[in-house]
Amino acid sequence: MVEFDGARIREIAESVASKVGLPEEFDLKIEIDETVPLGRIEPIEVSDSGARVKVESGAIEDPKKPRGLSESGTELAFGMLMMRVMDWVNPDFKFDGTVGEQLPVGMSIAWNTYSAGRLSRLGFERARKARYLYLWRNRHGFNDIADEAFEKIWSGEPQSWPEIVAICDEIKDQVAATTG
Amino acid sequence: MKKFLPVEELARDERFVRVPIEERFMDKRKMPEDIRKQGTRFEAQSQQGPENARGLMHGIMMGEVQALEGAGRTAFDFADDEDTPYELRLDMARQCWDEARHVEISMKLMEHMGVEVGEFSESTFLYEAACNPDPVLRLTGVNRGLEGLAIDIFTSMRAFGQDGGDPIMEYCEDFMLADEVTHVKMGSNWLRRLTEGDKERLDRALEFQRVIDGLFSLGGLRGDDDESPIKLARDFRRLAGFTDEEIEGVAEQAHQVAVNSGLVKDGDADEDGAGMAVGYG
């Protein structure tokens, strides 16, 4: 259904793992679902020693070549999923969710912002700030307070999930205080 | 200057990549069941809504570029044609002015949404519809068919901006929507004037529009079904000169495309139709 080269996908995954600092002994299995054109990425299993993640084909597809592989898009998608998995298993990050649990959309985009900000600083060309700012504003508001919160998360200021949650919660409180 | 410029000769720089419409219809991947009901909708708070809107905005910008090229061509291609009234070409010149403004607005909106020029592919269907050798068919296909689609899309994008509390999106789409209603009305007016007493030409023009409406219901994404993320903007279509019967015709045709693409279910319809994928990465 798609024209993806499995060997090339593996090479990209290995290169991204090296760039983001995924430990070599961590057993990460990435399953590409070729039957679905969407771009969802879902962890199926996560443990301290490894993870299994499902990636829908649209996540790594070239938007300018239907059913073709995008190298930079694959780098970004894998970078995002590896950042999230590394956060997940990092005890200092203190994420208390479970596999299969659907995060609220606003919190999901907050985590994506946190991941993309770090990838951007690592030189991932597709981790563009303007894109994530737009996605963020749609969930947290088109206002200065939400933008300041975005900057904090993008810049990597929070070190844990509870801190990210607190930043998001503060937006609502501050906007409410401003608007009465 | 060359008249009747083929689509292959449109000027583009290296950022733009064209994908033939047939390529999209060859995609055999299917929407998962859960997404059929929610994921393709343009809702700011949905998981994929804003990401889908980014891709759509690039498509809108390319459509505006081609609408500018098409209207400009119609003003020029029929300059020596004594059957084409000067006022029709004046309308096309005015439309060029509008479309140029829309290109600029769309570029600003892309910047606002973090979309780069050339980030997505270009489909050239709008300009191709504007290559018909009969000016009446051009205006019917482009101004009533594709600009009618633009009315539906801009109405949906305006609602998307309202839903997400994005005033820039809301107002920009509203400004462009007002122009599109005028463009569709031009198509309706010229169709009526130029086919007066010529039923065969009228029938050919309306058939051309039906083909375009069917092809460009976006795989069922545009329609009146609950699952369709881009709704038929009935009120604006009436303002633009569509009769209720014509609007029902477009709705029914869009429903059939949606059924064929698997977006909606209908036990009586052909299930073997081609689908259109909506990818985002």
Q: Does the beta-carbon distance from A66 to B55 stay under 8 Å?
A: no
What average pLDDT does range A122-137 have in this prediction?
A: 97
Q: Is A132 on the interface with B (CB under 8 A)?
A: yes
Q: Does the beta-carbon distance from B45 to A38 stay under 8 Å?
A: no
Q: Is A37 on the interface with B (CB under 8 A)?
A: yes
The answer, yes or no, to whether residue B165 has pLDDT greater than 60, is yes
Q: What is the mean pLDDT of chain B?
A: 86
Per-residue model confidence as pLDDT tens digits over A72-122 = 999 999 999 999 999 999 999 999 999 889 899 999 999 999 999 999 999
Closest CA to A166 of A119, A98, A115, A110: A110
Residues 6+ apart with CB under 8 A from A110: A136, A140, A153, A164, A165, A167, A168
| Beta-carbon pairs below 8 A across chains A and B | 113
Q: Does the beta-carbon distance from B29 to A61 stay under 8 Å?
A: no
The answer, yes or no, to whether residue B186 has pLDDT greater than 80, is yes
pLDDT bracket for residue B272 (50, 70, 90): very low
Q: Is A57 on the interface with B (CB under 8 A)?
A: yes
The answer, yes or no, to whether residue B184 has pLDDT greater than 90, is yes
Q: Residues of chain B whose C-beta is under 8 A from some C-beta in A?
A: 17, 19, 23-24, 26-32, 35, 39, 44-51, 54-55, 111-116, 118-121, 164-168, 277-281
pLDDT score at B228:
78
State how far residue A157 is from chain B, nearest Cα, in angstroms.
23
Per-residue model confidence as pLDDT tens digits over A29-61 = 999 999 988 889 999 999 999 999 999 999 999
pLDDT score at B249:
87
The answer, yes or no, to whether residue B279 has pLDDT greater than 50, is no
Residue B187 CA, distance from chain mean position: 14
Alpha helices by DSSP H, chain A: 6-20, 71-89, 105-121, 129-140, 144-154, 161-179
Q: Does the beta-carbon distance from B119 to A63 stay under 8 Å?
A: yes
* pTM more than 0.95: no
Q: Does the beta-carbon distance from A142 to B119 stay under 8 Å?
A: no
Chain B positions touching A64 (Cβ under 8 A) are: 17, 19, 118, 120-121
The closest CB to that of B19, out of A66, A130, A138, belongs to A66
Q: Does the beta-carbon distance from B29 to A36 stay under 8 Å?
A: yes
Determine phi and psi for B270, rounding to 5 degrees: -70, 125
Rounded CA separation B228/B221 (Å): 5
Q: Which of A21-35, A62-76, B22-36 has the lowest mean pLDDT?
A: B22-36
Percentage of the residues of chain B whose pLDDT score is greater than 90: 58
Rounded CA separation B131/B137 (Å): 9
Q: Does the beta-carbon distance from B121 to A64 stay under 8 Å?
A: yes
ipTM of the complex, rounded to two decimals: 0.93
The closest CB to that of B50, out of A2, A76, A138, belongs to A138
Q: Which of B29, B37, B54 has the highest number of chain A CBs within 10 A, making it the mutation to test binding with A?
A: B29
Q: Does the beta-carbon distance from B23 to A70 stay under 8 Å?
A: no
